[in-house]
Amino acid sequence: MLQNFIDWASSTAVNSWVLSNAWAWPAMETLHFFGLCLMLGALLIIDTRLMGYFKSVSFDAVHKLLPWAFIGFAINLITGLVFLFGDPARYVPNIGFRLKLILIVLGGLNAAYYYWKLHGRLGQLEVNGDATSLAKLVGSASLVFWFGVLIMGRLIPYVGTG
Q: What is the mean pLDDT of residues 48-70?
A: 87
Q: Look at the chain and report how many structural domains it folds into.
A: 1
> What would the DSSP string read from start to end of 45-100?
HHHHHHTT--TTS-HHHHHTTHHHHHHHHHHHHHHHHHHHHHSHHHHTT-HHHHHH
Mean of per-residue pLDDT scores for the chain: 89
Position 38 scores a pLDDT of 97
31-41 pLDDT, tens digit per residue, is 999 999 999 99
Check residue 142 and give its pLDDT.
Answer: 96
Report the amino acid identity of residue 48: T
Q: Which domain holds residue 36?
A: 2-159
